[in-house]
């Protein structure tokens, strides 16, 4: 560990994203179909309340709901928070509010953006607002661009050539965050930058972790002792990926495997290549294929992929 604690702090922005497509069902589908033509609907619950957005099941009894109720596209703000520095993922590119808006005819509020022209002083609980509709209806919540101050409807609704009901919807989710490596991870990444795979050993059960976690998951004690492992591994399990992942340069089919490096006890995930996907099997021996040394950074992708050992010169 000598000198490791004096090394630079490693920090990097990350985006965690999930693409997701779901069927809407008759109630949510009716709500989205209404948005496409500039109409907002809720559903009546067992207690007589009109729930907006429309939901499939009663929050009181958990029974399926079916009675659709149209509401107005004007209402009032019940509570709100101000966004002073919008990100590229926000619906507006200037300061705005996220607000809970209870529409006329509804008993529950819905969350949406509120545009006051960037002026926070206009925002208040009880503020009258109206929907600002998109020019073209798509059948999703973005058909309401935002809400804006106003006590009467704008009268403008989206244009749409679609007649069929909305039965499917894309609902991707992305989280942008900044990751700062802790002591154990930083030590590992500094070693991988040198072309070394260095794990950490539990002083109690003696398991060697790659990548290290700073403590043993089984024993709950700190892992301090470092163990250099070979860039040869065994396939513990694997998946053949046939569906393309948006933003991923690797085109399917390809193999992702859980690998246990020689000298370690815990598996890590990496890519297999230069192999017949249909012949990959548990227990297969593989060797790392490294990038050129001048391309090494603080990341596991210094290893391009792993390939069958018999294609790597044998060992």
E-only strand ranges, the chain: 11-18, 21-23, 40-44, 50-51, 68-71, 74-83, 96-103, 110-114, 128-133, 144-149, 168-170, 173-180, 197-201, 208-209, 225-229, 232-241, 254-261, 268-272, 285-290, 303-308
What pLDDT score does 7 carry? 65
Could you tell me whether strands 11-18 and 173-180 are parallel, antiparallel, or unpaired per DSSP bridges? antiparallel
What's the average model confidence in pLDDT over 161-176? 88
Instruction: Please answer whether residues 209 and 202 qualify as being in contact, where contact means their C-beta atoms are separated by less than 8 angstroms.
Output: yes
What are the tens digits of pLDDT across the range 133-157?
999 999 999 999 999 999 999 999 9
Domain ranges of the chain: 21-171, 178-311
Q: CB count, 10 Å around CB of 74?
A: 20
Q: Contact 268/208 with Cβ under 8 angstroms?
A: no
Q: Look at residue 74 in the predicted model and tell me its pLDDT.
A: 98
Of 246 and 135, more confident: 135
Q: Three-class SS of residue 268?
A: strand
- Computed over every residue of the chain, the mean pLDDT equals 93
Of 9-23, 156-170, 187-201, 291-305, give the lowest mean pLDDT range. Answer: 9-23
CB 190 within 8 A of CB 184: no
Mind listing the pLDDT tens digit for each residue in 271-298?
999 999 999 999 999 999 999 999 999 9
Label residue 1 by pLDDT band (50, 70, 90).
Answer: very low
Q: 234-259 burial, b if ≥16 CB within 10 A, otherwise e? A: bbeebeebeeeeeeeeeeeebbbbbb
Condensed to tens digits (0 to 9), the pLDDT of residues 59-103 reads 999 999 999 999 999 999 999 999 999 988 899 999 999 999 999
């Amino acid at each position: 560990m000598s000198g490791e604690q004096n090394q630079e702090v490693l920090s990097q922005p990350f985006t965690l994203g999930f693409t997701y497509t779901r069927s809407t069902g008759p109630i949510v589908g009716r709500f989205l179909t209404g948005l496409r033509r500039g109409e907002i609907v809720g559903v009546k619950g067992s207690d007589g309340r009109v729930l907006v957005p429309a939901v499939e099941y009663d929050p009181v009894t958990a029974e399926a709901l079916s009675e659709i109720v149209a509401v107005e596209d004007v209402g009032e703000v019940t509570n709100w928070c101000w966004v002073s520095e919008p990100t590229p993922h926000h619906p507006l590119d200037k300061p705005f509010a996220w607000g809970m808006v209870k529409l006329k005819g509804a008993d529950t509020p819905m969350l949406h953006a509120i545009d006051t022209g960037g002026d926070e002083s206009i925002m208040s609980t009880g503020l009258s607002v109206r929907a600002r509709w998109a020019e073209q209806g798509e059948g999703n919540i973005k058909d309401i661009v935002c809400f804006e101050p106003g006590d009467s409807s704008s009268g403008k609704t989206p244009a749409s050539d679609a007649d069929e009901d909305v039965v499917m919807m894309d609902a991707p989710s992305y989280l942008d965050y900044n990751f700062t490596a802790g002591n154990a991870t930083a030590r590992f990444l500094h070693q991988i930058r040198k072309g070394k795979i260095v794990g950490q050993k539990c002083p109690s059960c003696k398991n060697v972790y790659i990548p290290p976690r700073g403590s043993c998951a089984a024993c709950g004690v700190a892992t301090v002792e470092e163990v250099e492992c070979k860039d040869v591994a065994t396939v513990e399990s694997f998946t053949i990926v046939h569906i393309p992942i948006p933003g991923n340069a690797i085109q399917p089919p390809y193999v992702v495997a859980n690998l246990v490096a020689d000298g370690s006890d815990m598996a890590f995930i990496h890519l297999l290549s230069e192999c017949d996907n249909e012949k990959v099997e548990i227990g297969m021996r593989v060797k790392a294929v490294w990038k050129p040394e001048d391309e090494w950074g603080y990341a596991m992708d210094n290893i391009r992929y792993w390939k069958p050992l018999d294609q790597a010169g044998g060992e």
